[in-house]
Amino acid sequence: MSRYLPHSVRTKLLPERVAYRLGLAVPVGVAGVLCFAPFGLFWLAPLVWFGLFVLLRRAESPREAALTGLAFGLGFFLTGVSWVYVSLSVFGGMPWWLAGVAAFLFCGVMALFPMLAGGIFKRWAPDAVWRQALFFAALIATVDWLRSWIFTGFPWLAVGYSQAPPSPLAGFAPLLGVHGLSLLVALAGALLLRWKHGLTFLAVSVAAGFGLQHVQWTEPVGEPISVALIQGNIPQEMKFRPEAFLRTLNLYRRLVSENPAQLTILPETAVPAFFDQLPPDHAEFLKSAAQQHGGDLVFGTITGQGDHYWNSAVSLGTSPTQIYSKTHLVPFGEFIPPGFSWFMHLASIPMSSFSRGPETQAPLAVAGQQVAVNICYEDVFGEEIIRALPHAGILANLSNTAWFGHSLAQPQHLQIARMRAVETGRPMLRATNTGMTAVIGADGSLQAILPAFAEGVLRAKVSAYQGLTPYARYGNLAFLVLVGLCLLTGQRRGRQNGIA
């Protein structure tokens, strides 16, 4: 309609319309966070990405569409990963104003990915709505996938994580992985522009998801083992202080001795010291406690050799001592990217120069099982977790999210772990310092959990699983094929100036 107005009026109205659309994109991005834990409004996700799809369609140019994607991304990430500020300011020792700037810049970099999707969509989108929907969904899923490995990767809040159990779409995870779910959600949202087609697609997807949840891709093997997952609840500000060291050791000794199990797991850096510098009686006590019940104990500590040291998990007990060293390190938290040594002088982050562990490491042979250990946010990377399959029958995550305080980080991380369990068809054991310590079933169900920010021990019986899901066998191959088909089918045709 604006084309029929005088040129002078149109040039005045356009900036106002652009500002309105950009202003609307921010709360739409904020609403996207509600789809994830702890809010869990998974049904809202198609509506959120429908909102972004509509805003991109109405953009007047690729530049405006890119800015719309940027505004959406800023609202989404500044809300969803606001805990970055907590780790830098409260526990990292950085001045509040500098931590605020750093957190904003980090979220700004993350927002470049939806910005890229928005600009490309407007520049090359086809005319037909169904082609637009395919093109849009492929772009949203692709930028999420790119975000999972560029600059070492940060796939946190990938769209598909919103569909972890109890969402019925979780049934697709063993086939397509989390990025395949991103594709489904974005496509369902875009198709809502033609609501009959959109609702039909959504209904079929939900029904298929329910059906796929009843497919037994893997099966339990052997007798269940008893496990004890220990949550020490050591405040982050005390964790590495020398005066708290012995108190920490005594706390874990007490919790281990009071809760015998075939497999006992302590959190990441539960012993905040080098393994070979532990008091001799402490290591011997842990080993003996595990041996008394014919089992093993795995705990987080630091291992070193020469000028290198690793964030590791060490096993003690009936089985020979084994070590897993973390492979996927956290930038700035565990290693310093080239050119950023100045940044670390402004923060106070202990042990921030770890070395990477070997890319391929055998599962730990403990408690008569093969247990694939991952540390901290390594479980965010699905294609890295499946390296241990099919040999591993149980997954175990050792974490310390005390760095992020009372924030969204803990429930979001638990949701990610549930997605890994569904993708692999393996139970996931989570032993954390302050939460959320949990036992997750091979179907992603939450079988038991401890309250966050409380000392406790979670005891359960867990079976190992054998077999491979399609995702565990082929990784993201099926997802990439689907994205390629969507891009080819949704290629640009007709008018060259975008969509009115």
- Other beta carbons less than 10 A from residue 106's beta carbon: 19
Q: Residue 456 to residues 36, 234, 264, 295, 494: CA-CA distances in angstroms?
A: 26, 11, 13, 20, 63
Catalytic residue among 326, 334, 423, 486: 326
In the set 35, 107, 376, 486, the catalytic residue is 376
Q: Exposed, middle or buried: residue 460 (CB in 10 Å: 0-12, 13-18, 19+)?
A: middle
Task: Mark whether 376 is an active-site residue.
Answer: yes
Cα separation, 23 vs 78, in Å, equals 15
Using DSSP's 3-state secondary structure scheme, residue 247 falls into: helix
Angstrom distances, CA of residue 56 to CA of 65, 116, 193, 232, 383: 5, 12, 12, 48, 31
Q: Tokens 């699983």 — which residue? A: 465
Per-residue DSSP letter, 89? I
Please enumerate in sequence order all residues whose Cβ is within 8 A of that of 317, keeping only pairs 6 or more positions apart, or say none: 287, 290, 291, 295, 296, 297, 366, 367
In whole angstroms, what is the distance from residue 192 CA to residue 268 CA?
44
Q: Is 268 a catalytic residue?
A: yes
How many whole angstroms separate alpha carbon 441 and alpha carbon 224?
13
3-class secondary structure, 451: coil
15 CB burial (10 A radius; 0-12, 13-18, 19+): exposed
Single out the catalytic residue among 64, 268, 334, 423.
268
Residues taking part in catalysis: 268, 326, 376
